[in-house]
Amino acid sequence: MPDYIRWIRDRVGHDRIFLNFACCVVSDERGRVLLQLRGDRERRVWGFPGGAIELGESAEQAAVREMREETGLDVAVTDLLGVYTGYEDRYPNGDVAQTIAMVFRAHIEGGALAIDGDETVGLQFHDLERLPHLLNQQHEDIASDVRAGRRGVWR
The full set of domain ranges for the chain reads 3-154
The sheet that has 33-38: what strands, in order across it? 45-47, 33-38, 120-126
Q: What is the pLDDT of residue 116?
A: 87
Q: What pLDDT does residue 40 have?
A: 80
In order along its 155 residues, the chain shows pLDDT tens digits of 778 899 999 999 999 999 999 999 999 999 999 999 998 877 899 999 999 999 999 999 999 999 999 999 999 999 999 999 999 999 989 999 999 999 999 999 999 999 988 889 999 999 999 999 999 999 999 999 999 999 999 99
From residue 19, how far is each of 8, 56, 63, 88, 123 by CA, in Å? 10, 15, 14, 10, 24
- E strands, the chain, are 17-25, 33-38, 45-47, 50-52, 73-90, 96-111, 120-126, 153-154
Q: Under CATH, which number does the domain 3-154 receive? A: 3.90.79.10
Residue in 124, 120, 78, 81 with CA at minimum distance from that of residue 101: 81
Bridge partner list, 123: 36
Q: How far is residue 78's CA from residue 70's CA, in Å, rounded to a whole number? A: 19
